Structure 1
Amino acid sequence: METYGKVLLIAMPAFLVLVLFEKWYGWRKGFDTVNNMDMISSLSSGITNVTKDVLGLSVGILTYAYLVKHVAIFHISNHVLTYIIGFIVIDFQAYWVHRWNHKINILWNHHIIHHSSEEFNLACALRQSISVFVNFFAFLLLPAALLGVPTEVLAVIAPLHLFAQFWYHTRHIGKMGWVEKVLVTPSHHRVHHAINPEYLDKNLAAIFIWWDKWFGTFQEELDDVPPVYGITRPAATWNPIKINFQHLWLLMKDAWRTRNWWDKLRIWFMPTGWRPQDVEQQYPVFKIEDVYHFEKYQPPHHAWLPAWSWVQLTFMLCIISFFFGNIAAIGAPNMFVYGAFIFLSVYAYTELMDQNKNAVLWEALKNALAIGWIIYTGDWFGMGSWQSWTIPVLIAYCIVSTVVVAWFCWQIKPMQHKPVLAKA
């Protein structure tokens, strides 16, 4: 956990700079693909995901270390070939896990957050799940285990494999010639994120596009079918924590409401989107039928709300950077308290972005807990020992942010927002 936290201290600023550069580049070229509130939501999702990972809030049913110990036929020494084999096997695993996430109802809940943005840009690459608590798919790494690829090698490769999927989430790079035959490119991934019928559940590979071509899930980006992005049952919220569990909540309600006991059992493992017939008729859920004419999520808000949301996000980035840099010193159980504060903070300010008046209650709760912790311990997880001025600044911020959010909530009025047509 500590090592991964140190890596994120380098990766997070790099990703943020690239996201902001894409925003500037699009503005400069007259082709801005980055919606401000959507970008904040995406970055906030990234914050929750890396926090969950650093806290280690997931377990493996069958770990790779166990496989290597019990099934290895050879033991490859630690050299370049080992890393190449490990990378290819991880990519093979990624393809099949990704494919099952798209095809099986319960697994779609693990992946829905990544597709929830109605835009396509570098920021949406950071929309990653916090709803995966159990990893069932280590068995797909069996080829590497049989060859005895060391666990330490995969531990190095796994984050690099994940970070290598960032760059192709953009609309500013066209088709790339011969590269399209080997690697996943922005063109391939635009197809993957599209909700056009021609593109649904295509191009599932992470790095090497040959998996899609071999297993029948490849689709080229068509000039006459501009991709439209999002999910067919729109999330309709900027709150990444809500998005992570929306589909699961729908499955739970459907399983409870249906009168058919067989449907109660099989709903979890049916194809993604399947609902019992009686429930679908009695409790219809909006689904996009015409991808070129639907209302994008953009609730009306006060002109200053985006600026305030950036203030909140910047505060969170500072808080999380301190956390990742000092997680060993913070230790357990305090690191879980810190993690809970991060999740509560994201939930509070994205509720305000959604124009929910209850945002002031979440904000007040979050700030009261922060000040209470400082009073109880005399510090903020060691931050005061590092720089004494940070504690009064943190207390002042908590007070001011509560007042500001209360003011924004007071400004919220019921409004009918106009439809925004989807644009390719």
Structure 2
Amino acid sequence: MDSPHFPNIILYAIPFFALTVVIEGLIIAKHQPKKYKVKDAVTSIAMGLGNVAIGFISKLLVLFTLMFVYENFRLFTIPVTWWSFLLILFADDFSYYWSHRMGHRSRFFWASHVVHHSSQEYNLSTALRQTWTGGFFTFVFFLWLAFIGFHPAMILFQMGISLLYQYWIHTELIDKMPRWFEGIFNTPSHHRVHHGSNPLYLDKNHAGIFIIWDKMFGTFQPELKEEKVIYGLTTNINTYNPILIAFKEWGTLLKDAIASKTTLLNRFKYFSKPPGWKHDGTGVLSEDLLKEWKSNQTQNHKNE
């Protein structure tokens, strides 16, 4: 069977990214001149360019692994046709949801994903702030697609479509989409929540294209007018240095795992447990922050 060939749509989209980042920046600068930080946008763009450059290496690894699974272990041979594109649209997005959710629940994966959350701004340039290391690990969540019979070229193409879709939702210029659209798809409103460091918003809305997965698996949180999104991390990195942003959490993770005076099992848990976990019980997880926030809300209502 001849291998299908698909264009690298992300490379073709780069001029579109550049144009829309500039247009959005000009609009924000005109109406809210203090809100747009050029240094932050430049850093995000640098992270994106680094991701593309390193992606040439990581994609070779991903393609080789997918091909190995496809050629040796696939259960079926799914043809490249209209209905298989519909199937992989949902199958890939389901995989992305769990990959993204794990990126928030395992510090090993968070060490890569934290890059995307490191900006305290939210605009189209933030979408370009991508990991330099995640491409070497997160593909494991997509291996099952090759196992059941989707061709690796098709899988990589759909992953590109997903990434392209998620570009436009990184903006504050769009408030809400029509209600039916908000009910099915990931939108700027849903994704603003995901980038929030507010306790109510932490680890919510992991969707790629379809928000239905968050609603099915209990991680959906609507954006509330009374709870303005505070972008960034619970403890921000506070640097515009792309190299520090790319690798700081890896360094902190390795330091915690190696330098901590604890058991080998606990050292492993520093990689598997969520961000904030500590072997001595002094760590603060996102659910702890949410519990404290809810307690404060209850207390405030009693005092009113």
The two structures have a TM-score, normalised by structure 2, of 0.83
State the alpha-carbon separation in 2 of the partners of residues 274 and 4 from structure 1. Answer: 42
State the alpha-carbon separation in 2 of the partners of residues 50 and 204 from structure 1. Answer: 23
Q: 1:245 aligns with which of 247, 250, 253?
A: 247
State the alpha-carbon separation in 2 of the partners of residues 66 and 40 from structure 1. Answer: 38
Which position in structure 2 is the counterpart of 1:151? Answer: 152
CA contact (8 A) 1:62 1:139 kept: no
Q: 2:206 aligns with which of 198, 204, 207?
A: 204
Classify the secondary structure of the residue corresponding to 1:277.
Answer: coil
The amino acid of 1:162's aligned partner reads: L
Which position in structure 1 is the counterpart of 2:130? Answer: 128
The amino acid of 1:150's aligned partner reads: H
Q: 1:99 aligns with which of 85, 98, 101?
A: 101
Q: 2:27 aligns with which of 12, 25, 28?
A: 25
For residue 84 of structure 1, report the CA deviation from its aligned partner.
Answer: 1.4
State the alpha-carbon separation in 2 of the partners of residues 4 and 149 from structure 1. Answer: 14
The amino acid of 2:248's aligned partner reads: Q
Give deviations 1:309-368, integer Å, cap 9, x for gaps: xxxxxxxxxxxxxxxxxxxxxxxxxxxxxxxxxxxxxxxxxxxxxxxxxxxxxxxxxxxx
The count of residues paired between Structure 1 and Structure 2 equals 280
**Residues 1:226 and 2:228 are matched in the alignment:** yes
State the alpha-carbon separation in 2 of the partners of residues 33 and 58 from structure 1. Answer: 39
The amino acid of 2:43's aligned partner reads: S
**Residues 1:46 and 2:48 are matched in the alignment:** yes
State the alpha-carbon separation in 1 of the partners of residues 76 and 37 from structure 2. Answer: 51
| Equivalent residues in 2 for 1:17-416, closer than 5 Å | 17-30=19-32, 33-56=35-58, 59-60=61-62, 63-132=65-134, 134-135=136-137, 137-138=139-140, 140-142=142-144, 145-146=147-148, 148-176=149-177, 177-262=179-264, 263-277=266-280
For residue 227 of structure 1, report the CA deviation from its aligned partner.
Answer: 0.3
Unaligned runs of 5+ in 2: 284-288, 294-304
Classify the secondary structure of the residue corresponding to 2:43.
Answer: helix
CA contact (8 A) 2:46 2:242 kept: yes
State the alpha-carbon separation in 2 of the partners of residues 244 and 268 from structure 1. Answer: 17
The amino acid of 1:153's aligned partner reads: M
State the alpha-carbon separation in 2 of the partners of residues 109 and 78 from structure 1. Answer: 35
CA shift in 2, pair 1:206/1:33, >3 Å: farther
Which position in structure 2 is the counterpart of 1:422? Answer: none
Moved more, 110-119 or 56-65: 56-65
Which position in structure 1 is the counterpart of 2:286? Answer: none
Unaligned runs of 5+ in 1: 281-286, 292-424
Give the number of the structure whose alpha-carbon radius of gyration is greater: 1
CA shift in 2, pair 1:76/1:224, >3 Å: same
State the alpha-carbon separation in 2 of the partners of residues 136 and 170 from structure 1. Answer: 25
Identical amino acids, percent of aligned pairs: 34
State the alpha-carbon separation in 1 of the partners of residues 141 and 130 from structure 2. Answer: 22
State the alpha-carbon separation in 1 of the partners of residues 144 and 57 from structure 2. Answer: 27
For residue 276 of structure 1, report the CA deviation from its aligned partner.
Answer: 3.7
CA shift in 2, pair 1:205/1:64, >3 Å: same
State the alpha-carbon separation in 2 of the partners of residues 102 and 235 from structure 1. Answer: 17
For residue 185 of structure 1, report the CA deviation from its aligned partner.
Answer: 0.2
State the alpha-carbon separation in 2 of the partners of residues 264 and 154 from structure 1. Answer: 35
CA shift in 2, pair 1:266/1:24, >3 Å: same
CA contact (8 A) 1:89 1:144 kept: no
CA contact (8 A) 1:113 1:244 kept: yes
CA contact (8 A) 1:58 1:134 kept: no
The amino acid of 2:22's aligned partner reads: L
State the alpha-carbon separation in 1 of the partners of residues 258 and 76 from structure 2. Answer: 50
The amino acid of 1:227's aligned partner reads: V
For residue 67 of structure 1, report the CA deviation from its aligned partner.
Answer: 3.1
The amino acid of 1:151's aligned partner reads: P
Classify the secondary structure of the residue corresponding to 1:244.
Answer: helix
State the alpha-carbon separation in 1 of the partners of residues 74 and 14 from structure 2. Answer: 36
The amino acid of 1:277's aligned partner reads: D
For residue 258 of structure 1, report the CA deviation from its aligned partner.
Answer: 1.7
Alpha-carbon RMSD across the aligned residues, in angstroms, is 2.8
Superposed structure 1 runs of 4+ greater than 4 Å apart: 3-9
For residue 133 of structure 1, report the CA deviation from its aligned partner.
Answer: 5.9
For residue 61 of structure 1, report the CA deviation from its aligned partner.
Answer: 10
State the alpha-carbon separation in 2 of the partners of residues 209 and 222 from structure 1. Answer: 17
Q: Which has the higher contact order (CA 8 A, sep 6+)?
A: 2
